[in-house]
Each structure stands twice: as structure tokens, then as C-alpha cells.
A and B are shown apart, each in its own frame.
Chain A
Amino acid sequence: MTLSDIINVIRSVTELGLISSLTVLALYLSYSMLNVCDLSTDGCFTLGAAVGAVVALSGHPYLSIIAAMAAGVASGFVTAFLQTRMGINSLLAGIIVNTGLYSVNIAVMGGASLLNMNKTVTVFTKVKALFDHTFLDGWHKVAVALIAVAAVIVFLSVFLKTRLGLAIRATGDNSDMVRYSSINPVFTTTVGLCVANAFTALSGCLLAQYQKLSDINMGQGMVTVALASLLIGGTLFRRCSVKVRAIGAVIGAIIFRAVYALALNLQMPAYMLKLVSAGIVAAAISAPYLRKHIPQTMKKYFPGKENGDVRA
């Protein structure tokens, strides 16, 4: 590999890591803060891609971002409504919305399961035009992703300190306490899911414009990939402030992409991505449980050690 090859790999890892980190930040809000595992993430990611693509194809690259995020808000609202007002278990609510979104997404793309944006003006091509023939030539994709991620992190670190943000955090921590503070947890859950899904949709929208293609299966497994990234970031920044942990989520996403790129380089087939992320998520979530239970199991089979008898 030449130096420019290495730079290219690093650049694409950063680009993809940053774009997918927006979904990780969405889960940071819904999973880490609200304590809801939002399984509509996959569908919402594709929804963002589809809506963004359609609007961009109609000639409105900037509007496409806003439209995708608005679609995400709507999707989050439906998930929240099902789980807070209709008594549907939160996992099931996510699965239901996810299933419904499959049809919605194809409908949005006008019945097609693919939309090509090869010649479309997108936020990426807009910025590319600005960067061409400057020293930043070629870094426009990183720039767009970086701006989006920075905006979301700044938003989150302020938002989570406001009264509403505190209430959202408390909802996941102890929803009874929220009620005792005369705040309706239905409201905080709804706002939290709407905001989180706006980020997920933004993530999907940017990925579609990045790869110049919106595909009905783009979002598949996204929730697991993003959870894996979130948990990687979480282990690095365990006892930190809300803002630092948000940055940790982004770093987690980039690390995940880097490990994946490395594995591809070592001849791992691309289709293994999802199995690897499934493994990471399973390992990371089960770790605290295993840490507690393995010593007990050990004691059961090696009772001698309990008495400090290490010779046995």
C-alpha cells in the first residue's frame, strides 16, 4: 500500500464513521438516555435516505436534509405514540414501525427500491464545488459529515442540560421520579424519540447522498451496528459528562469502521459486517452479566479456591 492508499482508507473510514455516528448519537439519546431500544432505527434510516433522495432529485439539496429530519421526527412520533399511548411494548412498537416503514419507504421512492443520484446535486457536490482546487480538495465529504456531527453534538450537549433534556435523562433513569416532579413521562419519551429519529434519518439521508444511491435495504442491521459503536464508545468514556460521552459515541463509530476496514483488508468478506457487529453487541451487553456470574460458576467447579487453597 502506498501512502496515498493509506490516506484514502483513513479518509473513507472517517467519512463513513462520521455519517453513521449520527445514528449512534440517536441511539445515545434513545438507548443511553431514555433507556428505550428503538428498533425502528433501521427503517427510519432508510426513510431518511429515501426522503432525502427524492427531495434532492427534485433539485433541493439543502431542503433534502430538513425534509429527511422531519420525516424522522414523524417516524419517532409514531413509535412513541404506540408505546406510550397504545400500551404496546417498546421493542414491539419499534418492530411494528420498522415493518410499516418498509412499505412507506418504497412508496416515497415512487415504487422503486433503488434511487440513483449519480448526477444529482447534493450537499456533498455543493461543498465539493467550494473545495475544488484548494488544499481541501477531496475532503468535502469529511467536511459535510463533520459539520453535521458537530452540529448534533453541540445541540445535544446544550439540549441535555435544559429542563426538557434533564427530564428526558431522568425518564430513562427513574420514570417515577419524573412523575413526582410533575412531568409527564409520555411527553419526555415522545420528544426524546422524535429528536433521536431525526438524527437517524439525517444519518440515512447523508449516507444516500454520499454513495449517490438510496436503496430500500440500506438501513438493514443499522441498529445493531450503531449499538456496537455506542457500546465501544461507552467503554472508553465510562464515567464522563454527557457531552464527552456523546463524543465517545462518535469515536466508537469511527473505531468500528476502522476495525471493519482492517478486517476487509485482511480478506474478511464484506458480508461479514453484520455478523461481526452482532457479536460485538452481544459481547458488550453480556459483559456485566458475565463478570458477575463467571466467578460464581468458577466457585462451583473449583470449590477449593474459595478457601484460598490454590494448590488444588
Chain B
Amino acid sequence: MLELRKVNKTFNPGTVNEKKALTDIDLSVADGDFITIIGSNGAGKSTLFNATSGAFLPDSGRIYLDGRDITYEPDYKRAKYIGRLFQDPKTGTAPSMTVEENLTLAAGGGRWLSLPRRAEREALRERVASLGLGLEDRMNTPVGLLSGGQRQAVTLLMATINPPKVLLLDEHTAALDPSAAEKILEVTEKTVREQGLTCLMITHNMRSALSVGSRTVMMRDGSIIFDAQGAGRDGLTVDDLLRRFREASGETLDNDRMLLS
């Protein structure tokens, strides 16, 4: 269970560029929740993820994971149980290293000076094959030579190769062409389902915001303005979402990457 308690973050405080990016965020994520997050540009969605993963410290507030206070834990330690994917497929992989080398590093385990054993390499290959993208034949290709979609699939596998307690997806299909985006979303849902992951996914696609996952959260100006799950979410349409946003904020939802259908 992930809990954010009164988390605040202001960028460049005391300057003309001061920006309150998160205001008193309270969010409880139950184990097995799959939350989709939508909101306008600059609403603080990515900032929420950055605070959770430890890219920076919040100004105030606490973050708990399974009851443990992780607010001050450095990002690389949190990475053990918080997986992350970004919009840019380049973010999560080392381009000049091969698919296998990237996955070996992500899989961790073993001692520092241990060489990957044959069984481990076989296991990695099988995991890659389970993506269903034919990448198992390209284990020795540098990741930088893969397409954006393939690269994002590898990143997804890296983030989930040891099932994380929380998986954070920040518009991870936004930079891909429609068919690759669909494929990656499919693989994502399958992985989350099979591993029973707790997952938060920022999306610009209003339709997937409702069709994917079990709960939808809407953000605006650093706050959560709408949170629907269970019966309150069933039967919601994209139009309902846009109306809710207007009602809560007095303006229309505006995101430069937004897809309405």
C-alpha cells in the first residue's frame, strides 16, 4: 500500500518562477489498484511521480510504502520496489548496451563480480519472448538500435522483471506511433494483470483513462480534483470526464497531447 500524506512541492520558491506544483496531495493506493491519472499540462502529474520515486524531496508531507516511511530514501534505493517508465523510450535503457545486458542489470541479484549464468540468460530470453514482439532473437542487439516501441517494451520488462510494489507509468505510450502504443499498452495490461501489480499510469488518452485500470484520478494545478473507482467509475464516458473537469475547475481540460477518442 502506497500512501502520500499532505505532500507539497514548490519549484523555485521565492523567485519570479515560483511554481506550486503539488498542493497537499493525499492519495492512498491499495495493493492491486491500477490507477489512471489525467490532467492538463503542468497539473503536477509527473511531479507526483517524481516525489514518489524520490527524484526529489517534497517540501513537506510524508510518503509511506507498506507502512514504512520512505520520504527520505534516495531514489536508487526506492527503485528496488518502485518501477518507472517515461514518455521518452530512451530514458530507461543504456543505448550502447545490448538487450541482454540491460536486462541483466535490471534483474540484479548475484554478487558484483559474478558473471551472468547460462540459466539466468535463458530465463531472460524467455521473459523477452513472452512479450510476443520477437525480441528474443535480438538479445545481442544494442538497445539504441531498436525502435521506440521495442525499446519501451524492453524498459517495461526491465521495470517489472523483479515485480515492483508500485509501477509508475508516465505517458509511456505518448511518444509511440498508434500501433506501437496500442501494443505496449496491451503488454502493460497483461504484465500488470499477471503479476498482480499496483500501478499508476498517467495518460493523455481519455478513452484508456477509463477503459484501463480500476480507478481514475484527475489532477489540476497541483491538486487531485476527482477520484473515481468502483460503481462511481462504471459507466463513465469521456464526455462525463470532461464535464467533471469543467465542474471542478471552471475551465476545460487542456492537454497538448490529449486524445479524446
CB distance from B114 to the nearest CB of A (A): 6
Query: Which of A164, A169, A174, A182 touches B76 (beta carbons < 8 Å)?
Result: A182
| Residues A170-195 near B (CB distance < 8 A) | 170, 173-174, 176-185
In the complex the two chains form, what is the Cα distance from A163 to B93 in whole Å?
16
Shortest 8 CB-CB distances between A and B: which pairs? A173-B94, A182-B79, A164-B112, A170-B94, A179-B76, A182-B80, A174-B94, A181-B105
Within 46-87 of B, Cβ neighbours of A (below 8 Å) are at: 74-80, 83-84
Comparing B95-103, B185-193, B200-208, the segment that makes contact with chain A is B95-103
Residue B130 interfacial (CB < 8 Å): no
A181 adjacent to B97 (CB under 8 Å): no
A169 and B97 within 8 A (CB): yes
Contacting A at CB under 8 A, from B94-138, are: 94-97, 101-102, 104-106, 108, 110-116
Cβ contacts under 8 Å, A176 to chain B: 91-92
Does A44 sit at the interface, judged by CB under 8 A? no
Given A166-B101, A166-B105, verify A180-B159 contact (CB < 8 Å): yes
In the complex, what residues of A have CB within 8 A of residue B92's CB? 176-177, 180
CB atoms of A183 and B105 under 8 A apart: yes
Contact, CB under 8 Å: A178 / B105: yes
Cβ-based interface call for A275 (8 A): no
* A184 and B76 contact, CB distance less than 8 A: yes
Contacting pair B94 A177 (CB below 8 A): yes
Contacting pair B106 A158 (CB below 8 A): no
Q: List 23 A-B contacts (CB under 8 A).
A: A163-B114, A163-B116, A164-B112, A166-B101, A170-B94, A170-B97, A170-B101, A170-B102, A170-B105, A173-B95, A174-B94, A177-B92, A177-B105, A178-B76, A180-B92, A180-B106, A180-B158, A181-B106, A181-B108, A181-B158, A183-B105, A184-B74, A185-B76
A142 lies within 8 A of chain B by Cβ: no
Report the nearest B residue to A174, measured CB to CB: B94
Question: What is the distance, in angstroms, from A15's C-beta to the closest C-beta of chain B?
Answer: 32
A159 — which chain B residues lie within 8 A by C-beta?
A: 113
The answer on a CB contact under 8 Å between A162 and B93 is: no
Residues of chain A whose beta carbon lies under 8 Å from any beta carbon of chain B: 158-159, 161-164, 166-167, 169-170, 173-174, 176-185
Contact B97 A166 (CB under 8 A): yes
Interface size on B, residues (CB 8 A): 32
Q: What's the nearest-Cβ distance from chain B to residue A242, in Å? A: 10
> Nearest Cβ distance between residue A161 and chain B, in whole angstroms?
6
Contact for B111 among A163, A170, A183, CB less than 8 A: A163
Q: Are B96 and A173 in contact (CB under 8 A)?
A: yes
Cα A161 to Cα B112 with chains together (Å): 11
Alpha-carbon distance between A179 and B96 when the two chains are bound, in angstroms:
17
CB < 8 Å: which of A161, A167, A177, A184 contacts B93? Answer: A177
The reply to whether B105 and A162 contact each other, CB–CB distance below 8 Å, is no
Interface string of B245-257 (1 = CB under 8 A from A): 0000000000000
Which chain B residues lie closer than 8 Å to A174 at the CB level? 90-91, 93-95
**Minimum CB–CB distance for A203 against chain B, Å:** 24
Known interface pairs A170-B97, A177-B94, A180-B159; A163-B104 also in contact (CB < 8 Å): yes
**Interface-central residue, A159, A173, A180, by most chain B CB under 10 Å:** A180
Specify which chain A residues have a CB less than 8 angstroms from the CB of B158 in the assembled complex: 180-181
CB-CB under 8 A from A173, the residues of chain B are 94-97
Chain A residue at smallest Cβ distance from B79: A182
CA of A127 to CA of B17, assembled, Å: 69
Contact B95 A182 (CB under 8 A): no
Q: For the complex, what is the distance from the CA of A158 to the CA of B97, rounded to whole Å?
A: 16
Let me know if A163 and B112 touch, CB within 8 A.
yes
With A174-B93, A176-B91, A183-B105 known as contacts, the answer to whether A164 contacts B113 (CB < 8 A) is yes
The reply to whether B97 and A167 contact each other, CB–CB distance below 8 Å, is no
Give the distance to chain A from B98, nearest Cβ to Cβ, in Å.
10
**B96 CB contacts on chain A under 8 angstroms:** 169, 173
Contact partners of B83 in chain A: CB under 8 A: 180
Q: Which residue of B lies closest to A175 (CB)?
A: B94
Question: In the complex the two chains form, is A162's CB within 8 Å of B79's CB?
Answer: no
Contact B102 A177 (CB under 8 A): yes
A167's nearest neighbour on chain B, judged by CB, is: B105
Q: Are B79 and A169 in contact (CB under 8 A)?
A: no
Nearest-neighbor residue (CB-CB) of B100 within chain A = A166
Is A183 in contact with B113, judged by CB distance below 8 angstroms?
Answer: no
CA distance A170 to B103 in the complex (A): 12
Question: Which of A162, A170, A180, A182 touches B115 (beta carbons < 8 Å)?
Answer: A162
Known contacts A163-B104, A181-B106, A183-B76; 18 further A-B pairs (Cβ under 8 A) = A161-B116, A162-B114, A163-B105, A163-B110, A163-B112, A164-B112, A166-B101, A169-B97, A169-B101, A170-B94, A170-B105, A173-B95, A174-B90, A177-B94, A180-B158, A181-B105, A181-B158, A182-B78
Assembly CA distance A73 to B91 (angstroms) = 32
Q: How many angstroms between the C-alpha atoms of A158 and B104 in the bound complex?
A: 15
B residues in contact with A182, CB < 8 Å: 76-80, 108
* Residues on A with beta carbons closer than 8 Å to the beta carbon of B102: 170, 177
Give every chain B residue within 8 A of A181 (Cβ-Cβ): 79, 105-106, 108, 158
